[in-house]
Amino acid sequence: MTIEEILRKSTQKLKEFGVGDTPRLDCEVLLSKSLDCDRLNLILNAKKSVPDDAMERFSAYLKRRLNDEPVSYILGGREFMSLEFQVLPGVLIPRPDTEVLAEFAIENAKKLKNPYVLDLCTGSGALAVSIAKYCEQSHVCAVDFSDICVKTADENAKANGVSERVSVIKQDILEDFELENKFDILVSNPPYIKTEVIKTLDKTVKDYEPSSALDGGEDGLVFYRRIAHIAPKFLKNGGILAMEIGYDQEKEVYDILNEAKVFSDIDFICDLAGIKRVVKARVKIV
């Protein structure tokens, strides 16, 4: 069977099973991995036959995708900020939306000399590693309570050549804890989905991704309240706080930061769709 035929038939099968929003792309990515080539090669060699061993690999991948397993877990990785990240079950898959937060943090870190950055709820380490990679003077502390996330973030730092400037710490941020340094920037992509909403999510998300990385409590705001409370403890005077937020959480998160009475310059950054994706603020100078 040719590459063209395989992609046509497998894409149709994913459509029939109602799997995902990008069935053609999913099949291209999985077939590329099976053939150990990039997607451009699939186009250039569309009429070529697929070897039996590659076909076996692709069939196994497709079977898993038909069971709604995310492509990133099937392949064991995901691209973020043009970097490759290992992503295993139990670790939240990095989303393109979070690049808005990464770009903001990197831009501001580059303005500082030897900036210290704190990343809470680091997951795969996508934010921490990206900041360290693109701001070569930065030192980043990445925090997560999950063993698999701590291990994965540490391995991603090593794989991207920034392990000397990224330290990964196991800690539940909902509990009291101490850190040695004061930080210039604090970033976080915390769990922010309401508990009752999780059961309505696509099966690819609710059945495979860790609920602990999604569940923000009854109103989705538990971690924002906690971070607003502890940020002044860990940030220097005038330090920057930046967090990803849900599409409908602008007012609630603004109120949390405003009512804390320790932040100034509270504002939002929109993503490419015009949705307010990141909240930013500064700790007041006292």
Mean pLDDT across the stretch 37-47?
Answer: 93
Is residue 121 pLDDT above 80, yes or no? yes
* Local confidence band at 20 (pLDDT 50, 70, 90 cut-offs): confident
Is residue 245 pLDDT above 70, yes or no? yes
**Whole-number mean pLDDT of the chain?**
96
Q: What pLDDT is recorded for position 200?
A: 95
Alpha carbon of residue 244 to chain centroid: 10
Q: What pLDDT is recorded for position 286?
A: 65
> Which pTM was predicted?
0.94
The Cα 90–Cα 14 span in angstroms is 24
> For the chain, give me the number of helices (H) and strands (E)?
12, 9
Q: pLDDT tens, 135-190?
A: 999 999 999 999 999 999 999 999 999 999 999 999 999 999 999 889 999 999 99
Q: What pLDDT is recorded for position 178?
A: 94
The Cα 244–Cα 190 span in angstroms is 7
The Cα 79–Cα 39 span in angstroms is 14
Rg (CA), the chain: 21
Mean pLDDT across the stretch 36-53?
Answer: 94
Q: pLDDT tens, 74-96?
A: 999 999 999 999 999 999 999 99
Is residue 46 pLDDT above 90, yes or no? yes
- Amino acid at position 137, single letter: Q
Is residue 63 pLDDT above 90, yes or no? yes
Mean pLDDT across the stretch 104-118?
Answer: 97
Mean pLDDT across the stretch 48-56?
Answer: 96
Is residue 278 pLDDT above 90, yes or no? yes
Is residue 53 pLDDT above 80, yes or no? yes
The Cα 119–Cα 124 span in angstroms is 11
Nearest to 143 by CA among 173, 99, 178: 173
Domain 3-67 of CATH type 3.30.70: no
Is residue 285 pLDDT above 90, yes or no? no
Map residue 41 onto helix, strand or coil.
Answer: helix
Q: Which CATH architecture has domain 89-283?
A: 3-Layer(aba) Sandwich (3.40)
Delimit the domains of the chain by residue range. Answer: 3-67, 89-283
Q: What pLDDT is recorded for position 83?
A: 98
